[in-house]
């Protein structure tokens, strides 16, 4: 199971975090700090795996963002790399050539996509199409509601 996932920039700024274990805010911050420091200090020639406490941390850098996944001892590290890659592909497809700014300004969308791909720390859907369809369908519902709201407010002269 994935225990948590962190996305952060090369300067160490957190862009996304998802925790599948219960932790206090304080301990989340501490863990985040430690892991960011550990990953940023890795040299390019090193492997993508870190041991951290009793977990394995799998990380991969895509452009200016580090994608970091903490998995348990009996999880397959190489598969986790594929999981991370799949998520990046989903983001790429959704945003059209994704870059860090997309994730910064649309962080909630990044979360929505993630939640359609992984649930409770486990992969729920391996078809890219299905994941993106679910996200798009929900976006459509949101847009329809927004249209509705706008027209109501216009009617009332409040828009």
Under the rule (CB under 8 A), what is the footprint of other proteins? Answer: 1, 14-20, 22-24, 29, 43, 45-51, 74, 76-79, 81-83, 86, 104-105, 107-108, 111-112, 115, 119-130, 134, 137-138, 141-142, 145-146
CB of 14 to other proteins, least distance (A): 6
**d(C-alpha 6, C-alpha 114), whole Å:** 12
CB of 50 to other proteins, least distance (A): 8
**d(C-alpha 51, C-alpha 125), whole Å:** 28
Pick the closer one to other proteins by CB: 46 or 53.
46
Handedness of CA 80, 92, 42, 15 (dihedral sign): negative
Pick the closer one to other proteins by CB: 63 or 145.
145
């Amino acid at each position: 199971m994935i225990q948590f996932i962190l996305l952060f920039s090369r300067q160490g700024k957190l862009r996304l975090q998802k925790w599948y274990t219960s932790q206090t805010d304080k301990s989340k911050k501490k863990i985040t700090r430690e892991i960011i420091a550990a990953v940023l200090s890795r040299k390019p020639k090193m492997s993508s795996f870190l041991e951290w406490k009793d977990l394995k941390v799998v990380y991969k850098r895509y452009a200016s963002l580090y994608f970091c996944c903490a998995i348990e001892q009996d999880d397959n590290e190489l598969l986790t790399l594929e999981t991370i890659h799949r998520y990046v592909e989903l983001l790429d497809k959704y945003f059209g050539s994704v870059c860090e700014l997309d994730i910064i300004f649309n962080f909630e969308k990044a979360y929505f996509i993630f939640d359609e791909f992984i649930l409770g720390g486990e992969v729920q859907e391996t078809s890219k199409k299905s994941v993106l369809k679910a996200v798009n369908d929900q976006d459509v519902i949101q847009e329809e509601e927004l249209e509705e709201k706008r027209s109501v407010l216009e009617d009332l002269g409040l828009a």
